[in-house]
Amino acid sequence: MAITHATGYAITDPKKYLDFELKKYELEPLEDDRITVAVEVCGVCGSDHHTISGGWGPFATKFVVTGHEVIGKVVEVGPKVTEFKVGQRVGVGAQVGCCGKCKACKGPNENYCVQPVHGYNTHWYDGAEHQGGYSTHVRAQERFVFPIPDSLESTDAASMLCAGITVFSPLLRNGAGPGKKIGVVGLGGLGHYAVLFGTALGADVTVFSRSDAKKEDALKMGAKDFIATTDGFAKGKELEFDAIIVTASSSSLPVNELLSLLDIEKKLVFVGMPEEGLSNITSQALSGNGACLTSSHLGNRQEVLKMLALAAEKKIKPWVTVLPMKEAAKAIKAVENNTVRYRSVLVQDIEA
């Protein structure tokens, strides 16, 4: 029988962003190219906290069911789906749809579609609401559904679909590999993946953090070096780095000093999304070495598949805390308090 509804842990008021409440709601139409996935596990992302607490603005839908790091089973496929079968284990990340018509979609850059559909708190092109994976079911276009290699555990693979690809794509696009020196600013969910994947790709990874508190963890993850960003930390290290991935979601970073560490015309890639925007950027700091300040949005399909294959091949084990889905508030609180080490993953517990 066709699936028409999902049940999920919803937030209705950004002022009460820890008050998750089970709600049943209509799913968007299945459509030709869409797949319905029964959620088994779902990772908890900083975006979930930014969204439900209103930090990124008011809700776009009646209520919000967050979650965009889903692993589950295919339970329905639209008639034009070619790659997937009912029963198959798959992943769905933070983008579930693209227009298919713009320059980005026609190239291999659907992650830069000019009208993307994201994982929750959003609408499809026909106006139907779309919600996320703290729930029983999600739907996504086939292009945004990924087969999961057998050797990866679901609780390990889940957070790769957003946190993982968010750092893996800029690592790849900035040439992370043997002989390259990559900086990672901040060691949280994203940062820990940047160390794991950067190292797996063969690069020398240096972690920058405000204090030495996470030094031991960083080195265990594979970092070659750890630098606390105290006064003068950048001195004498000019032009040393091939890329720096900023995973800290803060607007008070020492951006100008970090820029000076980059080799000529290399990039400082912001993947943290501070709510206040960036400031104190001087064009003088950018002109000293022609360094680029940029950001990145997830990764394309080829990059996601490459990441999952690398994780399976190198047996990459993310550092995750596993909780039942009903403890979503506890996981969100841990994001807010910065106590996650280094990603929480929720396991399905909603009765069908």
At closest approach, how far in Å is the CB of 305 from a second copy?
19
Q: Note the residues at the interface with a second copy (CB under 8 A).
A: 102-104, 107, 109, 112, 114, 173, 238-239, 263-265, 267, 270-274, 277-284, 286-297
Q: Which CB sits closer to a second copy, 12 or 289?
A: 289
Q: Which CB sits closer to a second copy, 18 or 285?
A: 285
Q: Which CB sits closer to a second copy, 101 or 314?
A: 101
At closest approach, how far in Å is the CB of 265 from a second copy?
8
At closest approach, how far in Å is the CB of 105 from a second copy?
11
Residue 316 structure tokens: 């990459």
CB neighbourhood size of 82 (10 A): 7
At closest approach, how far in Å is the CB of 280 from a second copy?
6
Q: Which CB sits closer to a second copy, 150 or 265?
A: 265
At closest approach, how far in Å is the CB of 321 from a second copy?
27
Q: How many whole angstroms separate alpha carbon 59 and alpha carbon 62?
A: 7
Which candidate, 243, 213, 240, 245, places its Cα nearest to that of 226? 213
Q: Which CB sits closer to a second copy, 273 or 309?
A: 273
User: Is 180 in a helix, a strand, or coil?
Assistant: coil
Burial class (CB in 10 A: 0-12, 13-18, 19+), 230: exposed
Q: How many whole angstroms separate alpha carbon 245 and alpha carbon 19?
A: 34
Q: How many whole angstroms separate alpha carbon 244 and alpha carbon 170?
A: 9
Burial class (CB in 10 A: 0-12, 13-18, 19+), 114: exposed
What distances in angstroms separate CA 43 from CA 212, 240, 335, one per listed residue?
Answer: 27, 35, 12
Q: Which CB sits closer to a second copy, 12 or 295?
A: 295
Q: Which CB sits closer to a second copy, 278 or 312?
A: 278
Q: How many whole angstroms separate alpha carbon 136 and alpha carbon 27?
A: 11
At closest approach, how far in Å is the CB of 77 from a second copy?
30
Q: Which CB sits closer to a second copy, 59 or 112?
A: 112
Q: How many whole angstroms separate alpha carbon 301 and alpha carbon 306?
A: 9
Q: Which residues pair with 168 in a beta bridge?
A: none
At closest approach, how far in Å is the CB of 41 from a second copy?
26
What distances in angstroms separate CA 143 from CA 1, 34, 98, 168, 268, one per listed residue?
Answer: 25, 9, 9, 18, 29
At closest approach, how far in Å is the CB of 261 from a second copy?
11
83 in Cβ contact with 142 (< 8 Å): yes
